[in-house]
Amino acid sequence: MPRCQIDKTTIVIASGNAHKIQEIKTIMGPIGIRWLSGNTLDIGQVDESGSSYLENAVIKATAYSRASGKLALADDSGLEVDALGGLPGIRSNRLFGENKTQEEKILELLRRLKQVPFEKRTARFICHAVLLSDEQLLVSVQGVLDGVILSESRGKAGFGYDPVFLVPGIGKTLAQMSDAEKNICSHRGSAMRQIRDFLLRWQDQTW
């Protein structure tokens, strides 16, 4: 499709994670875009074989854009724990056992950090987000959230490693925050607000 015919009004969110899709829609707010949820498309498991968050985000966006014929928004995120040399990193979903429950993955993370004192349990969530059209990367951004890994879970909200990720400035884990609180400080919130700003500028341009 030539670039002048890009449909700027409909974007597929390239993820099968219903929680993440809802987070992204909430962060974007009412900006005149029709969002298609990636988990309603039958595209199966995307092979996230890239060697960086950016590569994985592009792989996901390409798969969903091809399947839907629409602009695609993808993110790839991960947890980097300093005491583990940055692991699990881009393999956050797989390193501690692909078929394990999230609770089991958290227990494995805590087991590996058992001897590590609080002040050395620093970590960060990283999120790379991309917008891709017709195989072309339109924009790529990064968001980061610094925190500390606790030695036990606190809170029930969110997903993934949220219950053990303390945000020191706020004094709560991500799982103790409301969706709105998490979105204000989170890696994904920061990345998606940059994408939203791009979209608002881009919608006004005619190509």
Q: Which residue is nearest to ligand IMP (CB)?
A: 160
With binding defined as CB under 6 A, does residue 80 bind ligand IMP? Answer: no
Q: Judged by CB under 6 A, does residue 76 bind ligand IMP? A: yes
When binding is defined by CB under 6 A, the residue of 188, 189, 190, 199 that contacts ligand IMP is 188
Is-cis flag, bond preceding 30, omega within 30?
Answer: no
Tell me the CA distances in angstroms from 172 to 44, 165, 181, 185, one per residue in order: 35, 8, 10, 12
Say if residues 77 and 187 touch (Cβ distance below 8 Å): yes
Residue 194: count other Cβ atoms within 10 Å of its Cβ. 16
* Residue closer to ligand IMP (CB basis): 5 or 101: 101
Which of residues 83, 146, 159, 179 is near ligand IMP by CB under 6 A? 159
Residues 131 and 128: their CA atoms lie apart, in Å, by 10
Q: By CB under 6 A, what part of segment 110-129 binds ligand IMP? A: 125
Piece of 3-11, 71-79, 110-118, 198-206 that binds ligand IMP (CB under 6 A):
71-79
Is 153:164 a contact under the CB 8 Å cutoff? yes
CA 32 to chain centre: 22
- Does residue 162 bind ligand IMP (CB under 6 A)? yes
DSSP readout, 78-122?
EEEEGGGTT-EETTTTTTT-TTS-HHHHHHHHHHHTTTS-GGG-E
Catalytic residue among 7, 76, 146, 162: 76
Task: Pick the binder of ligand IMP from 24, 36, 59, 161 (CB under 6 A).
Answer: 161
Give the three-state DSSP class for 137: strand
Tally of CB atoms within 10 A around 103: 10
Q: Is 42 a catalytic residue?
A: no
Site membership for ligand IMP, residue 64 (CB under 6 A): no
Q: Least distance in Å: CB of 37 to ligand IMP?
A: 14
Give the one residue of 62, 65, 68, 92 binding ligand IMP; rule: CB under 6 A: 92
Shorter beta-carbon distance to ligand IMP: residue 124 or 196: 124
Residue positions annotated with a catalytic role: 76
**Which residues would be at the binding site for ligand IMP (CB under 6 A)?**
17, 75-79, 92-93, 125, 158-162, 174, 186, 188
